[in-house]
Amino acid sequence: MDSKTKRFILSEQEIPTHWYNIQAEMKNKPLPPLHPGTKQPLKPEDLFPIFAEELSRQELNQTDAWIEIPEEVRNLYKNYRSTPLVRAYALEKALGTPAHIYFKNESVSPIGSHKINSAIPQAYYCKKEGITNITTETGAGQWGAALSYAAKAFGLDLAVYMVKISYEQKPYRRSIMQTFGAQVTPSPSMSTKAGKKILTENPNYQGSLGTAISEALELAMNTPNCKYTLGSVLSHVSLHQTVIGLEAEKQMEMAGEYPDIVIGCFGGGSNFSGISFPFMRHNIKGDKKTRFIAAEPASCPKLTRGVFQYDFGDEAGYTPLLPMFTLGHNFAPANIHAGGLRYHGAGVIVSQLLKDGLMEAVDIPQLESFDAGMLFAQTEGIVPAPESNHAIAAAINEAKKCKETGEEKVILFNLSGHGLIDMTAYEQYIAGDLINYALTDEDIAKNTSELEKII
């Protein structure tokens, strides 16, 4: 076994030159996002007040399958790409499975997660269009940290609204953002109308991504020369993340294999989309029959138990209406851990793909996700991000099935990040303080029944 290649890396020249836009090749296109006021399908111009123009065009682009990666962006990618594709021999052995398990290691980026793959182009396009200030929200702090780095690289000023519970529980991510010069405010805050309203009604509110998005959007709309950026959910974010899957495709070829199953953990959908879409294009063409599995937490099960419905992307209802699987924009995730993946909705592309049966979703209980993360750490030597643990758990479940059937399936999952700044969550798990939490059907029905029926 020791003589076998374990780790596959690409040369600089082999780093992708284009992102893959799956919208162009989907037989059923995603339904259009709607203007929140007029309820008419959005045009790119409708997004210009919020997002950089090029990002607005990418968001709604359903015609170009390949979009060139600007040279400045590719140059920054070269600081850490390609990321390794690794065969998890030790994990396979511990499981006693005949399956071949591979993971794409996005945790080696300077910030420790895949988020930087979209932070760099978003900051780049803003800079190129003469923007001076950007705003965003962050939950666990991964996106905020990645964007802080990218903003600094392009000389932009960044204001981050960080979900209050994470601001308090994850001081190191806050410090990373501040190290790169970002201004970080706990959300909800009194600095915006949206935050003030929520705090007046509920002074102890611990914050949610939906609320933080409302605050960041409000600041962007009220500040000259300022745009808003988002680290997940939107189609242009998924587009940028395809650099992961495009590399993985070449690396799997180096390994002489092709995945039967591709797995990503699922918050808003960006890392899952990134690892999956380049492989999924072969399914769409009819050449392959790979299974794609999104792994979400049982405490926030929008794909497995939510409704497909037009809904807002934020709490206050500032964003366009998005056709997606959702638990309702008023969904307040349980405070059992601040480990990410707690967003109420899913990207519009992924939502359509799930509806059309091109992919599957599973929900993973919290303790099972940490059991998986511990085993992965102890076999492969990397402490995974709590988010990534959901993908590992799903991969382990598939590998165990192979053990029962004796099938030598090839399983590929995305290791979206490392957990070295999330040790509080591991500490709680090791101390036995973490619990499983699943929503009741009544909770879900109550929240989604309040949505305006547009579909």
Ligand X SMILES: *Cc1c(COP(=O)(O)O)cnc(C)c1O
What residues numbered 19-48 form the site for ligand X, per CB under 6 A? none
H/E stretch holding 133 reads strand 133-138
What residues numbered 410-449 form the site for ligand X, per CB under 6 A? 416-417
Q: In this structure, what DSSP letter does residue 108 have?
A: G
The interface region with ligand X, picked from 46-54, 123-131, 249-257, 266-274 by CB under 6 A, is 266-274
As measured in angstroms, the least distance from the Cβ of 375 to ligand X is 18
CA–CA separation, 432 vs 424, rounded Å? Answer: 12
Beta carbon nearer to ligand X, 162 or 402: 162
The interface region with ligand X, picked from 11-19, 194-202, 265-273, 283-291 by CB under 6 A, is 265-273
Amino acid sitting at position 164: K
As measured in angstroms, the least distance from the Cβ of 103 to ligand X is 13
Which among 283, 347, 273, 344 is positioned nearest to 315, based on CA atoms?
Answer: 344
As measured in angstroms, the least distance from the Cβ of 350 to ligand X is 9
DSSP strand pairing (157-163 vs 133-138): parallel
H/E stretch holding 215 reads helix 209-222
As measured in angstroms, the least distance from the Cβ of 415 to ligand X is 8
Q: In this structure, what DSSP letter does residue 264 have?
A: E
Q: Is 301 in the site for ligand X (CB under 6 A)?
A: no
Alpha helical stretches, state H, 255-319: 270-284, 302-305
Quote the strand ranges of 233-359, DSSP E: 261-265, 291-297, 307-312, 321-326
DSSP strand pairing (307-312 vs 291-297): unpaired
The interface region with ligand X, picked from 33-41, 221-229, 259-267, 317-325 by CB under 6 A, is 259-267
Q: Is 373 in the site for ligand X (CB under 6 A)?
A: no
CA–CA separation, 297 vs 341, rounded Å? Answer: 7
Among 270, 276, 299, 366, binds ligand X (CB under 6 A): 270
Among 16, 195, 269, 328, binds ligand X (CB under 6 A): 269
Q: Is 245 in the site for ligand X (CB under 6 A)?
A: no
> How big is the site for ligand X, counted in residues (CB under 6 A)?
20
As measured in angstroms, the least distance from the Cβ of 89 to ligand X is 23
Both structure tokens of 294? 């999104």
What residues numbered 171-200 form the site for ligand X, per CB under 6 A? none
Both structure tokens of 372? 């998986």
As measured in angstroms, the least distance from the Cβ of 196 to ligand X is 27
Close Cβ partners of 195 (under 8 Å, ≥ 6 residues apart): 187, 188, 189, 211, 214, 215
As measured in angstroms, the least distance from the Cβ of 426 to ligand X is 14
The residue ranges that bind ligand X (CB under 6 A) are 113, 115, 142-143, 232, 265-272, 340-341, 385, 387-388, 416-417
